[in-house]
Amino acid sequence: MIELVLTINDKDGSYTEHAGVVLASVFSNTQQTINVHIVHDTSLSEENKGKLSQLVDLFHHNIFFYHITIPGDMYEIASGVHKIDYWTIASMYRLLLPLFIQTDRVIYLDCDILVNMDINELWSIDLGERYLGAVLDQGQNLLEYFTSLGLCAELYFNSGVILFHLDNIRNKQTWYEEMLHFLRSYPTMTMPDQDVLNSVYSSNYLQMDQRFNTFAHAELELENKIVHFAGDNKWWDIDSPAAPLYAKFLAMTPWARELASEPVYEPEQANIPPEPPVSEIQPVVIQLPENPVVEAVAPAPQNISVKPHRWKRRRSLRLRIRRRLRLRKKRMIRAKYRSIKRLELIKRLHVKKKKALQMRMKKLGLVKKKSKHVMKKVPPKKSTYHLKRTS
């Protein structure tokens, strides 16, 4: 039984759809039964909960929902981290998995992930006594940033795909206090959850093969990989090379079914495994109503209209999906334009502050030494000023 966890913070109602597509990509490539753990806050609507349950039930897996809140001490400290509003406080959820996921191991996935391989290959990795398995981060020009946080650049891993050994973490009794200490010590960090995980666990983790978390780029071969769209260009963008795959997996979810007059995809029949015992996994399972209301249907007329050909129905669905993707692209362009404008404003303010600081330093007679970062006091030069009388 594979244990898989996703975290959801869905203020605008669209993020859960991406989580559903990630699950569809996992289910399409994996035959083994999966327990899906959804960690969420109040932003996950009942409608989207129901769609996630429908999707998991369609592929004959199990789903469990965890409505959690950040502990008071962590919330107070994390609120002081400068970048927490950019990533949202929900990014802290993955730090707390050992507290409420009562399994020995679990796979964590971000929702901008394409799983184009059998995830059982990742699940079968033996971690031994290590805390987790992860892939080295593929970001560039970050050495100075790592050094400022006291982190080792050669060990720094990406947190988008992680195989957690929760029992080993629970045996490390100080893991929670170490997280709080790091959050308190470095409020200027730019990747809070990832930096905290590296500070606590990078000394004892397994470096996995890069194909388990490959950063996406234009010429990337997608076969037999877990692809991470970690940048601004996501795989649901219409100009992404993985957009056809996103559309394919979206068609397997209830979010696409609501646009079509009939189900778009039906998986092959599989033997439904027995439900796990209550003692093993305690969260409540969200189930659909057992006795749906069925309306009476009038007898069919003599002249039965012929259904359109399958290719016509598929073409209609493709057109709807393209229309929807075009609208989403427009929203993304507008958001990107706003972010560019905001970045320009921040740069202008930064230049203004820098000039003001230089003026203050000039007035105080302080000059920064080039070779070493030491402040050198230079005595002011003697100069004579002649006041001219103006008439």
Asked whether the beta carbons of 213 and 229 are under 8 A apart, the reply is no
Residue with tokens 């963008």: 237
Task: List, in order, residues 6 or more apart from 260 with CB less than 8 Å away.
Answer: 313, 316, 317, 320
Asked whether the beta carbons of 19 and 6 are under 8 A apart, the reply is yes
Of 150-164, 171-185, 198-212, 302-316, the one with minimum mean pLDDT is: 302-316
How far apart CA 63 and CA 54 sit, in angstroms, is 10
State residue 175's pLDDT score: 95
Phi, psi of 90 (to 5 degrees): -65, -15
pTM of the model: 0.67
Q: Which has the higher per-residue pLDDT, 27 or 319?
A: 27
State residue 226's pLDDT score: 93
pLDDT surpasses 70 at 268: no
State residue 290's pLDDT score: 38
pLDDT surpasses 70 at 106: yes
Nearest to 107 by CA among 94, 91, 93: 94
pLDDT surpasses 80 at 177: yes
Give me the chain's average pLDDT, please.
Answer: 79
pLDDT in tens, 60-89: 999 999 998 889 999 899 888 887 777 777
Out of 201-205, 303-307, 321-325, 376-380, the most confident range is: 201-205
Of 22-36, 103-117, 204-218, 295-309, the one with minimum mean pLDDT is: 295-309
Q: What is the residue-wise DSSP string for 161-185?
A: EEEEEHHHHHHSTTHHHHHHHHHHH
pLDDT in tens, 12-54: 878 899 999 999 999 999 999 999 999 999 999 999 999 999 9
pLDDT surpasses 60 at 338: yes
Provide the 8-state DSSP code for 302. S
pLDDT surpasses 60 at 144: yes
Asked whether the beta carbons of 254 and 56 are under 8 A apart, the reply is no
Q: What is the residue-wise DSSP string for 307-348?
A: PPPHHHHHHHHHHHHHHHHHHHHHHHHHHHHHHHHHHHHHHH
Residue with tokens 């659909």: 288
Give start and end residues of each alpha helix (H) in 186-242: 192-201
Of 97-106, 224-233, 376-385, the one with minimum mean pLDDT is: 376-385
Q: What is the residue-wise DSSP string for 9-62?
A: --SSS-HHHHHHHHHHHHHHH--S-EEEEEEE-TTS-HHHHHHHHHHHHHTT-E
The SS3 assignment for 63 reads strand
Of 77-81, 180-184, 268-272, the one with minimum mean pLDDT is: 268-272
Provide the 8-state DSSP code for 276. P
pLDDT surpasses 70 at 348: yes
Mean pLDDT over residues 368-389, rounded? 57
Percent of the chain residues topping a pLDDT of 70: 76
